[in-house]
Amino acid sequence: MYGFSNLTTFATLVITMATVLVFFALKNRKVLLSVKSEQHQLPPGPPTLPFIGNIHQMMWNKPAVFQWIHRLLQEMDTDIMCLRLGAIHVVAVICPEIACEVLRKKDEVLASRPATFASGSFSFGYKGTIVTPHGVQWKKMRRVLTSEILTASMEQKLHHLRQEECDHLVTYINNTCMSCPNSLVDVRHVAQHFCGNMIRRLVLGKRYFGSELPGSSASGPGHDEMAHVAALFTLLNYLYNFCVSDYFPALVGLDLEGHEKVSNDVMGILNRFHDPIIEKRIIERSNLRNGGESKEARDFLDVLVYLDDADGQPLLSVDDIRAQIVEMMYATIDNPSNAVEWALAEMVNKPEVMKKATDEINAVVGKDKLVQESDIPRLNYLKSCIREAFRIHPYHAFNPPHVAMVDTTIAGYTIPKDSHVILSRMGLGRNPKIWNEPLDFQPERHLNTANVLLSEPGLRFISFSSGRRGCPGISLGTSVTVMLFARMLQGFTWTKPPGVDRISLQESNTGALALAEPLILQAKPRLAAHLYEKI
């Protein structure tokens, strides 16, 4: 994240902002008048300055703007709060009842997304689904996802790819244990690159961008794969990141915070890896069609490339495909890896919880075979551990903003058109009005059903987004997350490194809620040796 290295830098930014904002304000006097007329009806919020609203406070609290917002909510003792960032009202919510109103009762009018430099860049000009504003393009791409990509039949068809990656995970960790002093394993590295491998296999049909490495079932990521995953996480950290130009579009091009350069650099990296594969598939499609042949889809990219419209022409443009590839990549990589890293950190500090989870795996699966996706419905305690990690430790403090397409109301307050409504993952999951001892890791909270699910319909916390803009990949996300965690717990005994009394649970203060430092644990195989061999 970019922050202010010293007061001189900050002062320069303020002067630049002030110059541009005065010009902006002179052309938009009606903004102030409309704000005054609405002020008594809006949700409670801190005092604002003319024209800029709370922008100065937002800038001062970078990079961890979310901490400032949650501090205000706590100080004001409110479940809903309105900030004004320039002419935009930003409404934060930390109450499940109000969150349900947003995503259920008012879902239709809150179904759009804001236009920002980063979201436009990351989506090739709003060609995908996640960040694309409500409209024809979003509806088309959403339909493609739900009816062609994330279907039960495609999930079953690609089961063998997921299986191979889970087997590779066990072999890779075992080889790492054998080759590293004290059998130390970087859990973050393992979890993030498992997710990277998995989504590359499902989307592109390949784990590596170059040739398969010798002994690749036991190999870790190469330089290209490391760069690919790093770019995806950088993208996630810059998307909807309270950049000043998100609220004052006149500042786009000045790149006052460096976000535009980072966004462009990230897309350059991703395009370098993705474009040659996409182009090759498009040529392959053209050659097959010219020869009157057809082909069964091998992966998600095949599905996208081979879709036809009513006239037999390609349904999706090249940029449609590029955008959807990027979105499927970044939508899959963060939550599973972050939840598993946090869950292991919490459980190593609570050996009794770790024992309950491994005892359950022993009882359900045994120790003479590896856990499979078909075992997931019966691993309720393990899923409760993941739910608890999602609750306390979401990777993102907020859901992507929901933009009001018309004037509406939430919790009895007026929400003007174009407002950004953000549901706080952190505020919901740690709300003391909802959860006793909210920061204590207690998986037993979730053992209230015969089949524990990772999703939370009551929105007491958010694991997968719901509603009209909700996550269509809950089944896939559940499989990836549970299998990552289950294989790691079944295959290895995880303990603190020598000389470490307790694992630090310090959060990063850079904008994401990851552990401040990567989790390093000692791992020892706990199954028969033949189960770790290359499959």
Q: 319 forms bridges with which residues in the sheet?
A: none
Measured CA to CA, the distance from residue 454 to residue 394 in angstroms comes to: 13
- Omega before 457 cis (within 30°)? no
> Would you call 53 helix, strand, or coil by DSSP?
strand
In eight-state DSSP terms, residue 72 is: H
| 95 assigned ligand-binding residue | no
- Dihedral sign computed on CA atoms, order 430, 436, 441, 446: negative
Closest CA to 469 of 125, 102, 116, 150: 102
- Dihedral sign computed on CA atoms, order 125, 127, 128, 132: positive
Beta strands in 129-265 (DSSP E): 184-186
498 phi-psi bin (left φ>0, alpha ψ -120 to 50, beta other): beta
Q: Which residue has the tokens 């509603």?
A: 467
What's 412-477 look like in SS3? Answer: CEEECCCCEEEEEHHHHHCCCCCCCCCCCCCHHHHCCCCCCCCCCCCCCCCCCCCCCCCCCCHHHH
Q: What are phi and psi of 48, to 5 degrees?
A: -120, 160
Q: Are 381 and 360 in contact (CB under 8 A)?
A: yes
Angle at the Cα of 90 from the Cα atoms of 84 and 93, rounded to 5 degrees: 130
Residue 90 host element (H or E): strand 88-93
Annotated binding site for heme: 471
